[in-house]
Structure 1
Amino acid sequence: MQIRVVNDDMSAPDLEYRSTANFIKRALLVMASLLAALFIIAILALLTIVRNINQDADQQSAMLLQKAMTNRADTLATHTKDYAWWGEAYQHLHPRVDTDWAWHRQNLGATLWRDFEYDGVFVLDGSGQTRYSVINGKLSNRSLQAWLGENPVPELLQTINKTDALPLANRVVIQAGHPALIAAASITTGDDSRLTPLSGPASILVFVDVLDDKKLMALGEEYGIKGMRVQQKNSAAMTGRLGAVTLPIDGEAITFEWQSENPGRALMRFILPLLILLALCTTLLGLFLGRNILKKARMYDENSFLLTQSRHALTASERRFRDVAEATTDWIWETDTDLRFTWLSDRFPGITGHSISAWLGRPVTDFLQADSQSLAEWITLPGQTGHRRLLHCRYLSAMGHQRYCHIAIKPVITPEGVTGYRGTATDVTLEVEAQARVQYLSSHDELTGLPNRVRMREFLKGKLQAQPTQRHPLAMMSLDLDKFKPVNDLFGHAAGDTVLHEVSVRLRNCVRDTDLVARQGGDEFILIISDVHDRNDIETLCERILQELARPFDINGNEVLIGASIGIALAPQDAVDAGELLRFSDIALYKAKSAGRNRWMFYTPEMAEQMVQRREMENSLREAIKQQQFRLVYQPRYGLNSSRIIAVEALIRWEHPELGLLMPDQFISLAEETGLIVPLSEWVLNTACRDTQQSLEGLSVSVNISAVEFQSWGIVDRVREALRQSQLDPARLEIEITENATLWNPESSLELMLALKKLGVKLLMDDFGTGYSSLSYLRNFPFDGIKLDKSFISGMPESDSANTIVENIIGLGKAFSLSITAEGVETEGQLQKLITMDCDETQGYLIGKPLSLTALKEQMNALDAAVQERSAPHTEG
């Protein structure tokens, strides 16, 4: 059994008792390292010897390969010379080739392929042109150059024609990835004295021996080289170890490979297992002996260590207790049986701020107090002998701050009985304060400090349980800030938080202490006013709130102006349920915002019905967009200068399956509020562009764009896509924009309008004169024309003021080079007056009502003729 004692306080003398085991361990490690090094060196030496033996064998095989190639080339040259210096060959091959003698009589034919495996036999004239060729034992008409893939003739002729050399030349080239031996010699009369050499250049006899894999293997076998071949990427892999040598042939490096004899493998197979077996046996023996030696050394060291450790046990225990007591966040105390402090740890002053001497001898109950019971009774409770814990005792620090702690105690028991008590006190002030903070935040808004929705509902339920009466009702007020979003957009969210905090202060100043102001979320607030004496009191309060919130807010030196809308529901008149009251006040708030903002409204049952109807209408509108229950009608626009219809305005109609045909003013505002205006407008754009391109040749079409939709850059993409799908000329599409659409963000609106103009479409200002536009808008924004609202035209020509206004507006538009369109023209007198004022275009029931596409096409010719007749000049009597 081994005993291991760990002590962080071990001194230097203690470590000496481990020296024996450490020394033996180091000695064993040195010996093991030496033996391992010897075995590694032996194995490396064996591997080196094996590699050298194999390399020597490969070098010898490479030398034999070169010798074999040389002998093959010499044999080829000898055969070539024998045939070339044969008088009969000279007679039949020079200057004219006798094919019968050469091929049919087998003097220079297939026998060279069959007997010597010469792949090519060629006879060339003095200029190097092939006159006779036998390739692979068959008579051929291919030239030497075409068969080899290159032209070795010039080099061969140069070698043969040297004056100081025999008329014989050798060369090696690459043919189809294999070395090809070439031997060439001039055809002469030899030693035949009967023949007289002819004048002129001699013919050349060329033998070619292509060393393919079959020939190389046979050649290698003659010299004891197995499987010799040219190394290629697609060659089948050979088993065993491979030898290789690279020879320069025809300017390329050709690598030959063969199956190496691998003479070192036998040596490796015999010696390496013996070395490994010897190493394993040595290792096992060393492990066995080393383990026994180390075991005895450790036992000796541990026995010596335990003897020394016993002398330091008490000292180390005392030191450990003191260090733990001082390092912990707790302070430790002891009392006598009268509960007076007899000892306090050194952490006591650091945590409480009190000195130890000031409290020794004083009762613990004077320092600590428990909320739920008497601390003295809990400490001295009879029959308790183990540890006990009491939570949340409190005390005052030396600075007078309230602090909290957990205490744990245990009686000090001796044979004589209980002689005192000792325990610990753990400071939990931060934990208690954090819990209180969490509790506060669970019912209050962190930004404004106002009660949140949870606290508001608790307060409301409590007030409703008091059962407010008809004479003294409870008022639930939902308040939403107006024009608050621009504050965040222009000044940042930090400025918005400052405004919300100031709003909460002003709202609290407007109500009584018994009332509640809560933050619902975002820029929404809830006010609960109980025990209302008169409805006029609520209206007075609302008026005061709006006045307070209308005062400017100072944000970093900038004055910010906002407003508020308020919806009010009363209990018990409207509801006695908290959820219903909140819902009704929200409905009233919505009506107040819809009515123009910065006002208050009391809830009425009709409002709920309208909300239900609005929700049903919204669902119907969503379904109508899915099922495409809409259709377009087109109202013509008449050009006074050209006396013809020049454009149409696309107007949407909703064919409701239950309510019948609905006009735009019955659903467009709902579409804008719910965000459905985007898919609706996209359908109108695509349909209007398609109809105009397919059926309204030569006419332009104008499409109205909602002010809500004009705040997003997506309108540019939708217009571009509608033009692309319909292939409509962009110049025939006019986008009508109301004056107020550009007021949201003039800079962004200008960029958006420029982007639309870049597409090639035209921009018209619709309902000119009814919004907030000024001359700067006409000058700064890239409008192509303006459309006068029909409210100006209705008084013409009887009203002089209407005539003057219209005439001035037309002159103003002309000054800015804008086309002028008068809307709502319904009488002949209005038309004639507009002609005299040099108005460009008119639109109204006089010209034509909004018609379907089919009806418009049928009536266009008749309508143009009728308008031209009305436009004819009349003589005044």
Structure 2
Amino acid sequence: MRWLAIKENTPLFTSSAGSTTSVVKRSLMFMLSLLGTFFLIAILALLHIACDINNRADDQSRNLLQKALQNQEATMKVHTQDYAEWGESYTHLHKTLDTDWAWQKQNLGASLFEDFHYEAIFVLGPGGDTRYAVVNGKRVRLTLEQWAGTHPQAALRTALAKNPDEPAALSLAVNGQPALVAAAWITTGGDEDVQPLPGPPSMLVFIDQLRPAELRELGEEYGIHELHVQTGSSSKADYRQVVLPLTFYNAPIALEWRSENPGRNLMLVVLPLLLSILLLTALLAAWLMRNALNKARLNDENHFLLEQSRQALAASERRFRDVVEATTDWIWETDDQLRFTWISERFPVITGHRIDDWLGRPITQFIECEQIELADWLLQPGQTAHRGLTHCRYFSAQGHQRYCNLVAKPTTTAEGELSYRGTATDVTLEVEAQARVQYLSRHDELTGLPNRVRMKEFLEGKLQSMPTRDHPLAMISLDLDKFKPVNDLFGHGVGDEVLHQVSERLRACLREFDLVARQGGDEFILIIPDIEQKQDLDQLCERIIREIRRPLYIQEHEIFIGASMGIALAPQDAVNATDLLRYSDIALYKAKSAGRNGWVFYSADMEEQIVQRREMEKSLREALKEDQFRLVYQPRYDMKAGRVVAVEALLRWHHPLHGLLMPDQFIPLAEETGIIISLSDWVLNTACRDAQHELQGMSVSVNISAVEFQTSGLVGRVRDALRASKLDPARLELEVTENATLWNPQSSLEIMNGLKALGVRLLIDDFGTGYSSLSYLRNFPFDGIKLDKSFVAGMPHSENANNIVENMIGLGKAFSLSITAEGVETPEQLEQLKMYQCDETQGYLISRPMPLEELKAQIEKR
């Protein structure tokens, strides 16, 4: 009979089998497609990697060759400078041409060709004529232009004019071969026995022509094989070539050499291996596909029998269907007396209790509910569907209070007795999270203090009780002093711990019914109701200042901060929360302006001062539009040259009502309001334009605010100013205070490197008054330092001042920085600085700051 039943269902069976086999075939074909795609991607990736390796190897060899040429050029410049800065060279080559000294005594003869392979040596007179020439170790009567086939002399003189103290270098193409040229002015070299002649100096020129043999030798030293100049026949080589195009003074030249071609070796090894794996994988996939199809057909043949077994099990599952639909965690059953008759295995996992300990005991002893008695809710008549009850309480085996959501349904047993089935879902984490959210909505997460919401509720409640003038309510706005440097120097982790400890100290200073709340950042609000006497409030503020100024010990750091407070009283100043907060903020601003670490009570005239500050800000913006600013220039005196070589641009504001205003009267406001960017752009453009058109050959220095290092675009603004004025970047100097880089040293370093890339010079202004250190001088690309005038003021009568200035000059010299002393007012100070080998001075002894026209007249007079 069983066989007949199977036979009768054959059409259904066949359809199922066919469908399953088709699915298996599609799946296997999809897998084969994935494998094929994978191997295709692997082969393409291998080709890409081989090509990338070749390109990287070629780039490396190009870099090595460029480094080799640069080293050769640097060596030639050293040799040229050694021969040019020599008193005897100046005597025998410039003053007079002594061929016996130059050729016969081999001071400038064949030995340079034999020892250093310099193919050509020329001595050019001040007028450009060739006075002496040695080519290939032999003295000849050729000019530089005749030998080179071009006229490089003008380019060499231009390069030497930019920096007379350093040799100049040039690359030429001579007879199709590269040649390196180094030139330098012939000077006395500091020889005091040789008196220099007036007029322009002579020029010494060394030329190293890189012939084929020398090119090959140079390449082999750096692992570059078969290095040669590219010609028309070079492309016929049977190996992979690398080309480095070079642009010389008179013609472009391309160098070629044999590529190492490491990617080819990779292809020869990996590609055959990859193809072998592909073949083996294809064979294995075919075998697996055949087996999978056979097993799929066997699985379909058993499907019909399994379907009959499933129907047999359906009846036994009917008893649990209602419970399974509602269950989430542990399942329970009770009798009509609400005693546990069955508990699922999840019960001990969730609650920690043993199942046997609770079987036969009432559910009401285990679970409680605040909304309704659990027994009344379960036994409520007329309820037949699922019902739910939320946030019921129970205790775990460890005694911890937990919460669950209860779902129950009355049912009838096979014997006709009433029972109850249901589930209990543990929601402890949800309840605790809701409580946490409720707490955080009114408290600060970092310090645990009330936040603005809770503070406002507390304040409005206290104001409703109508404080009187005899017993007023005080709102204190408190802001920490010197907190930002803590974050900058020690990190935000230390800053958070500082805020936490400060909140603890503030709590300790207040009464139980007072309130301290965190306003945000390093600002706090203190609400002090029912004040007996104003003297009590002063004593409280004094205690708060004293507690906050005590040192904080965090992560082995000893940290000192302070606090400023502004106080508004109710009902004297205001009777609503918004006005009290605004007035206490105004008083806080006044306290900070008065010198910090103190407290100020609000008064009506303070709001007028805020209005005046806004008017000042408005005037500052109008001043930019109406051209009320002017620049004055203070000269800088070069101690060695004995003349003024640079000026510092200083800003002045000709206010229509208040007259002449100095920078310290409006720059802080400009920094606070962001106007400093537009103001700095005006100074940069004006100073660059004046230097280009009116101060020929002199450098100009411009002060850069620390705020500008906290905004993007400084490099672009300087570039635009240089481009608009066409000023040589080497003539622009930017003065930066030491503290400008503290907020973000890495970002400041990137900005400074960008400025250096433009060609401008960077000076440290007011050196010694900030957070300077040796690492500061070492890590940042400064060109010079300006000693603050406070150090120079005590010279020369104070030995301590003398020692400090001498050591600071020595420190700057150790880092190869130029030294400028500010505030020089007496000849004695000037002589003392000259003895310490200070480079430049600036001060009233030299000149006071003056308008451009007066400066030009004074320079012409000198």
- Shorter-chain TM-score tier: 0.5 to 0.7
Name which of structure 1's ranges 308-317 and 368-377 shifts more when overlaid on structure 2: 308-317
CA 1:659–1:790 in 2, change beyond 3 Å: closer, same or farther?
farther
Q: 1:329 is matched with which residue?
A: 329
Distance 1:806 1:637 in 2: 28
User: Residues of 1 paired with 2:577 and 2:4: CA distance?
Assistant: 78
Percent identity of equivalent pairs: 55
Distance 1:369 1:737, change over 3 A: closer
Give the aligned partner of residue 664 of structure 1: 663
Note if contact 2:338-2:420 (Cα within 8 Å) is conserved in structure 1.
yes
1:611 & 1:312 partners in 2: Cα distance?
85
1:833-868 CA-to-partner distances (Å, cap 9, x unmatched) read 8788899877559967743x46766xx26x976xx8
- Check whether the contact 2:796–2:832 (CA below 8 A) recurs between aligned residues: no
CA–CA distance in structure 2, aligned partners of residues 790 and 305 of structure 1: 99
> Compared with structure 1, are the counterparts of its residues 385 and 668 closer, same or farther at alpha carbon in structure 2 (3 Å cutoff)?
same
Do the aligned partners of residues 396 and 766 (structure 1) sit closer, same or farther apart at CA in structure 2, a change above 3 Å counting?
closer
Structure 2: distance between partners of 1:445 and 1:406: 31
Q: Which amino acid aligns with 1:631?
A: F
Structure 1 pair 585–20 and aligned structure 2 pair: CA distance change class (3 A):
same
Give the aligned partner of residue 51 of structure 1: none
Partner of 1:400: 399
2:734, 2:763 within 8 Å by CA — same for their partners in 1? yes
1:725 corresponding residue in structure 2: 724
Partner in structure 1 of residue 630 of structure 2: 632
> What is the rounded CA distance, in whole Å, between the counterparts of 1:586 and 1:27 in structure 2?
82
Number of the residue aligned with 2:62: none
What's 1:515 paired with?
A: 514
Whether the 8 Å contact between 1:645 and 1:864 is mirrored in structure 2 is no
Note the alpha carbon deviations across 1:161-183, whole angstroms, 9 max, x for none.
Answer: xxxxxxxxxxxxxxxxxxxxxxx
Q: CA deviation at 1:690?
A: 0.3
> Equivalent residue for 1:20?
10
> How many angstroms apart in 1 are the aligned matches of 2:534 and 2:704?
44
The residue number in structure 2 matching 1:96 is: none
2:318 corresponds to: 317
Report the alpha carbon displacement of residue 562 of structure 1 after superposing the two structures with TM: 3.0
Which residue does the alignment assign to 1:530? 529
Q: 1:557 is matched with which residue?
A: 556
- Aligned residue identity for 2:693: Q
Deviation string for 1:661-701 (max 9, x for gaps)?
65433321111223332331122011111022213345554
1:411–1:418 CA contact under 8 A, matched in 2? no
CA distance in 1, matches of 2:314, 2:766: 100
Partner of 1:374: 373
Contact 1:810 1:837 in 2 (8 A): no
For 1:385 and 1:847, how far apart are their aligned partners in 2?
103
Alignment partner, residue 609 of structure 2: 610
CA separation of 1:27 and 1:854: change in aligned 2, threshold 3 A = closer
Separation of aligned partners in 1, 2:637 and 2:314? 114
One-letter code aligned to 2:518: R
Preserved contact between residue 809 and residue 819 of structure 2 (Cα < 8 Å): yes
Q: 2:126 maps to what in 1?
A: none
CA contact (8 A) 1:370 1:393 kept: yes
What CA distance in whole angstroms lies between the structure 2 residues aligned with 1:789 and 1:712?
30
Task: Report what 1:447 is aligned to.
Answer: 446
Change (3 A) 1:818 1:388: closer
SS at match of 1:370: coil
Judging changes above 3 Å, is the alpha-carbon distance between structure 1 residues 631 and 23 closer, same or farther for their aligned structure 2 residues?
closer
* Alpha-carbon separation, structure 1, partners of 2:804 and 2:398: 84
Q: Is the 8 A contact 1:14 1:305 kept in 2?
A: no
Give, in whole Å, the separation in 1 of the partners of 2:406 and 2:330.
9
Structure 1 residues 532 and 845: alpha-carbon distance in aligned structure 2, compared to 1, 3 A threshold: farther
How far is the alpha carbon of 1:454 from its aligned partner? 1.8
Question: Secondary structure of 1:477's match?
Answer: strand
Once residues 401 and 745 of structure 1 are traced to their aligned partners in structure 2, the CA distance between those partners, rounded to angstroms, is 49
How far apart, in 2, do the equivalents of 1:420 and 1:773 lie? 81
State the AA in 2 paired with 1:329.
Answer: D
Normalising by structure 2, report the TM-score.
Answer: 0.54
Q: Structure 1: how far apart are the matches of 2:458 and 2:4? A: 73
The corresponding residue for 2:495 is 496
Aligned-partner residue type, residue 335 of structure 1? D
> Is contact 1:334–1:423 with CA below 8 Å preserved after alignment?
no
| Paired letter, 1:367 | F
Supply the AA of the counterpart residue of 2:594. A
Q: Judge conservation of contact 2:692–2:726 (CA < 8 Å) in 1.
A: yes
- Secondary structure at the counterpart of residue 405 of structure 1: strand
What is the Cα deviation at residue 353 of structure 1?
Answer: 3.7
> What whole-Å deviation, never above 9, does each CA across 1:800-821 have from its counterpart, x for those lacking one?
x898469976995797685556
Instruction: Assess if the C-alpha contact under 8 Å between 1:335 and 1:343 holds in 2.
Output: no
Any conservation in 2 of the 1:644–1:864 contact (CA below 8 Å)? no
> 1:740: Cα distance to partner?
6.6
Q: Does structure 1 retain, via aligned residues, the 8 Å contact 2:404–2:427?
A: yes
The alignment's C-alpha RMSD in Å is 5.2
Distance in structure 2 (CA, Å) of the matches to 1:333 and 1:463: 54
CA distance in 2, matches of 1:786, 1:21: 103
Q: Which moved more, 1:419-428 or 1:461-470?
A: 419-428
The within-5 A match list for 1:78-477 is 312-318=313-319, 328-336=328-336, 338-412=337-411, 419=418, 421-477=420-476
Verify: 1:592 aligned to 2:581, yes or no: no
Q: Does 1:569 align with 2:601?
A: no
1:763-782 CA-to-partner distances (Å, cap 9, x unmatched) read 7776789x469998999975
- Report the AA paired with residue 473 of structure 1: P
Contact 2:792/2:805, CA 8 A, preserved across alignment: no
Residue in 2 aligned with 1:651? Answer: 650
Whether contact under 8 Å (2:767, 2:786) holds in the other structure is: no
Alignment of 1:793-832 (within 5 A): 804=797, 812=805, 818=819, 820=821, 822=823
Residue 518 of structure 1 aligns to a residue whose secondary structure is: strand
**Is the 2:456–2:577 Cα contact (8 Å) retained in structure 1?**
yes
Structure 2, unpaired ranges of 5+: 23-300, 811-817, 835-839
Looking at structure 1, the residues matched to 18 and 637 of structure 2 have their Cα atoms a distance apart, in angstroms, of 113
In 2: Cα distance, 1:322 partner to 1:815 partner: 89
The residue type paired with residue 21 of structure 1 is: P
8 Å contact kept, 2:323–2:423: no
Shift of 1:415: 14
Partner SS for 2:526: strand
What residue identity is the alignment partner of 2:555?
Answer: N
Distance 2:389 2:776 in 1: 81
TM-score, normalising length: structure 1: 0.53
Matches of 1:759 and 1:513 in 2, distance apart? 62
Q: Secondary structure at the match of 2:784?
A: coil
Partners of 1:14 and 1:557 in 2: how far apart? 90
Q: Which amino acid aligns with 2:784?
A: F
- 2:764–2:784 CA contact under 8 A, matched in 1: yes
**Structure-to-structure mapping, 1:796-875, within 5 angstroms:** 804=797, 812=805, 818=819, 820=821, 822=823, 850-851=850-851, 853=852, 860=857
Q: Provide, for residues 599-637 of structure 1, a one-character-per-residue CA deviation record: whole Å limited to 9, x for no partner.
A: 333333333222233234334434544x36343232464
Q: CA deviation at 1:359?
A: 4.1
